[in-house]
Amino acid sequence: MTKRLQSITSKLPAAAALCLLILLWQFLYQSGAVPAYMLPSPIQVVKALFTDLPTILRHAVVTLQEAFYGLCIGVVLAFVMATLMDHFRILNKALYPIMIITQTPFRMSFFGGGTDFPDFYKEHGGAVISTTFDKYCYVNVRHLPRFFDYSTELSYSKTERVTCIEDIQHPAIRNAMKMLDMHEIRLTYEADLPARSGLGTSSSFAVGMLNAFYALKGKYADKKKLADEAIYLERNLCQEAGGWQDQIAASFGGFNRINFNADGYEVLPVIIAPERKKQLNKNLMMFFTGFTRFSSDVQKANAAGKVDKTAQLKEMLALVDEAEKVLVNKERDLDDFGRMLDHTWKLKRQTGSAVSTNSIDELYAKGIAAGALGGKLLGAGGGGFLVFYVQPERQDAVRWAMRDLLYIPFQFEDGGTRVKHYTPEDYVPKD
């Protein structure tokens, strides 16, 4: 008896809700808020169900017949299209969603930026501490069906349609296609954050694009191969000024120390206790300044200044060791990481006139005055994103001080570039 009572009681809320719905329906009908021809009363509906039942059944039969005929037609058409796609390659390419999608993270560099330039590290050594985080660029690549009067279609900040690779305006895409012998492709680029913002976006794109190209060719490229070839693509083929850290970080992913010497580089994960790493993530706040720039332009402008920055870079290199000690040693005060960010930013500003601007200096000063222990402008300088180290109790004040800027929450990530979608195909080049 008790179980039956409990069963009945459990159904009461649903029954009450149904009654309220019917009452609301009746109220709407009586109030005239909804025309009667659009919403008849519940009683009229019930009456029609009985008085017009033969008519309702007759129309229901017609509807079921039409649904059955539609299903049969769909099955036949699907069989015919599948047969045609199996026999005609060009039709298969046009209709079947064959594609590769890669996901490649952006990076933020904390210490050592500038020591990853060959001119410096081949003589003095170099090292950076950086991490990738959960904001990505996506590269979608597939072979273009041969229905069009162009052979390559590219979609990034603009759209290009060309018949000859040499006519491609985007230097990285043009050189990558030539380097890997890619033809007849449709490429689309999308990103979570804007380009030219100090997050290594161009290098993330280069790594993701190469990863997609290899996958489309049915080949595997490991993370070091992708990093090495992205460096070669950007620094040698495209002749873009810059260091090596961005391509390596985007390819490998994770929170790493990257060492540079005359023989190359090595990627060493920074061993941080999980809770300490989580706290570091919580203490970092990132804001978009609204200013964008080309990193290579900043590097060229700084180089043109002929400022001897060896002393500053050596000190910035020494900070890498000290920062790593703070991260891995639980006995050290994590807040020292923030104070060291302030120190390295002040050193960075001394390495070139294009690193900062009056507007950026004012924004940084506001963040420090509001309670941030330190911070820096990410990337080569000139604009992009500001990152601050802020104790939790001061974060509301810093967010208010930066209220005119876009705040970007983020989480560290460890995956690096990866193929998110893979549909293989057999590609036969044109004769």
What is the pLDDT at residue 168? 97
Integer Cα distance of 427 and 186 in angstroms: 14
Q: Which pLDDT score, from 0 to 100, does residue 207 have?
A: 98
In whole angstroms, give the CA distance from residue 82 to residue 379. Answer: 51
Run of H or E including 155: strand 152-155
Q: How would you label 172-208 residue by residue, b for 16+ Cβ within 10 Å and e otherwise?
A: bbbbbbeebebebbbbbbebbbebbbbbbbbbbbbbb
The model's pTM: 0.75
Domains and CATH numbers, the chain: 16-92 (no CATH), 100-418 (3.30.230.120)
Rounded mean pLDDT of 185-193?
94
- Comparing 54 with 270, the larger pLDDT belongs to 270
pLDDT at position 59 over 90: no
Mean pLDDT of 419-425: 82
The pLDDT of residue 214 is above 80: yes
Pairing of strands 126-143, 100-111: antiparallel
What rounded mean pLDDT belongs to the chain? 87
Position 27 pLDDT exceeds 90: no
Q: How confident is the model at residue 297 (pLDDT cuts 50, 70, 90)?
A: low
Q: What pairs with residue 103 in β-bridges? A: 138, 418
pLDDT at res. 66: 86
Q: For 337-351, how does the pLDDT look when each residue is reduced to its tens digit (9 = 90+)?
A: 999 999 999 999 888
Residue 298 in this model has a pLDDT that exceeds 60:
no
